Amino acid sequence: MDDDVPDLVDVREAVGPSEASPATVPLKKVPITVVTEFGNTADIEKSLTVNQNNQATTEWIPLANGCICCSVKDSGVAALESLVERQKNFDYILLETTGVADPGNIAPMFWLDEGLGSSIYLDGIVTVVDAKNILKSLDEPAPDEVPESEADNKMPDSSDEHHHHQSPLLTTAHLQISHADVIILNKTDLVSDSHLTDVRQRISSINSLVRLICTTRSLIDELSGTVLDLNAYSTFPSTSAPDFSSKGHSHLDPTISTLTLPLRAIDPQELPVLQEWLETLLWEAEDRQEGQSRKYEIHRTKGLIRITDGTIRVVQGVREIFDIMQPPKITGDGTGGDSDDDSNPQGRIVFIGRNLDLISGAVPMPFSA
Ligand SMILES: Nc1nc2c(ncn2[C@@H]2O[C@H](COP(=O)(O)OP(=O)(O)OP(=O)(O)O)[C@@H](O)[C@H]2O)c(=O)[nH]1
């Protein structure tokens, strides 16, 4: 998908030198936050441009097979690694996509296996949402806003008009909200309080785990934890918006919802069973597409697992890839650190995606609380 090709911006230009992470603390790896903003339909670029101290460096991405989606996957990471290695003083990378990008295609590129020894790591996805226009974008997408993945996901029997019309439309705005770890809800000065409440509820019904920050002119007080230093792919979020859809569907948004499954504490020996359950759930959803009139689709998975020995594990996943990991020791609020305590919320696993009400019937959860 051509539109997924990102521009790169060094955070020191984006936010000003005083606000960036302190340069005195050398980072072993450079974190990346992916920023998506719906509605920006900039021209397609097949290059990565990095701005640092007003010096722009461009890495061109070779287009093997003419398919930018396949080509950018490895060469985009390689281009970034090469930049980080050549200019060793990067603190952070903000990767701004075009407005019609599907973060579900981009996040897996940068969420790299530890064993690969990459010099970069994915820190999180931030989506900027226009409070005035978002409901319209979710309800009445223009034809060119319908992402390619929607076309891919049409039922095999898509000649059957009934099926196609029954399936609620998945828009780019849905995808950018469902994959977001943080949403900057901007232009709040242009809407009434009741409109803002409707927007907040709609967003929370799609993605109950997202951290929602209301802004005017995208101004935020504290960058750390909002745009930078998110640790969104290594910890479980401390935010807990109301769960509108514990059954896997929501009346507020028929297309995408959040499903929360409470988990009992599990024995360390049972972790492989959890792993197998997730494999079945996430991998077979892909396989099941053929011949099915309805299928579920998981965009994002996050879990907090309480282990009977007092430790915790975090589950993180985007589309079909996932990891069960020990969280880094970074917070005292139960979202980081590797030991359990009373402040930890109940163990649970959370899925964000489509038709999630089908999950429990398809692959029953073995550790229900
Ligand atoms: N009233 C109000 N106007 C805003 C706000 N944020 C941006 N604008 C204005 O809205 C107009 C369009 O800005 P954006 O929506 O950021 O435009 P964009 O298409 O995303 O632009 P790019 O960032 O270049 O992609 C500009 O005139 C901005 O000054 C806000 O919070 N409130």
Q: What is the ipTM of this complex?
A: 0.94
Domain boundaries, the chain: 2-214, 257-362
Give pLDDT, residue 329.
74
pLDDT top residue among 328 and 153: 328
- pLDDT more than 90, % of the chain: 36
Q: Is the CB of 211 under 6 A from ligand 1?
A: no
Separation of CA 270 from chain center: 28
Separation CA 238–CA 333 (nearest Å): 7
Output the CA 217–ligand 1 centroid distance in Å: 7
What are 220-234's pLDDT values in tens digits?
Answer: 988 898 899 999 999
Other CB atoms within 10 A of residue 115 CB: 6
* CA gap 314, 325 in Å, rounded: 5
Q: Does residue 179 have a pLDDT over 50?
A: yes
pLDDT band at 202 (very low <50, low <70, confident <90, very high): very high
Q: Give the pLDDT mean for 194-202.
A: 96
CB of residue 217 inside a 6 A radius of ligand 1: yes
- pLDDT at position 144 is 65
By alpha-carbon position, which residue is closest to atom 24 of ligand 1?
40
pLDDT-based confidence at 243, cuts 50/70/90?
A: low
Higher-pLDDT residue of 28, 109: 109
CA of residue 191 to ligand 1 center, whole Å = 14
User: Hey, how many other C-beta atoms are within 10 angstroms of the C-beta on 293?
Assistant: 12
Q: Write the pLDDT tens digit of every residue in 340-360.
A: 444 556 899 999 999 888 887
Q: Find out whether the beta carbon of 44 lies less than 6 Å from any atom of ligand 1.
A: no
pTM of the model as a whole: 0.77
Closest residue to atom 19 of ligand 1, CA basis = 40
Q: Tell me how far apart the alpha carbons of residues 44 and 99 are, in angstroms, rounded to a whole number.
A: 11
What pLDDT sits at residue 285? 65
Residue with the bigger pLDDT between 243 and 255: it is 255
Quickly list DSSP for 58-80: EEEPP-GGG-HHHHHHHHHHHHH
What is the distance of C-alpha 32 from the center of its chain?
13
Provide the CATH topology of domain 257-362. Answer: Hypothetical Protein Yjia; Chain: A;domain 2 (3.30.1220)
Residue 134's pLDDT band, with cuts at 50, 70 and 90, is very high
Please state the rounded mean pLDDT for residues 102-106: 85
Atom of ligand 1 nearest to the CA of 190: 1
The whole-number pLDDT of residue 48 equals: 60
First to last CA, the chain: 41
Q: What is the pLDDT of residue 148?
A: 53
The top-level CATH class assigned to 2-214 is alpha beta
> 245 versus 359: which is more confidently predicted?
359
Which residue's alpha carbon is nearest to atom 5 within ligand 1? 217
Backbone angles phi, psi at 183, to 5 degrees: -120, 125
Give the number of the atom of ligand 1 that is nearest the alpha carbon of residue 188: 31
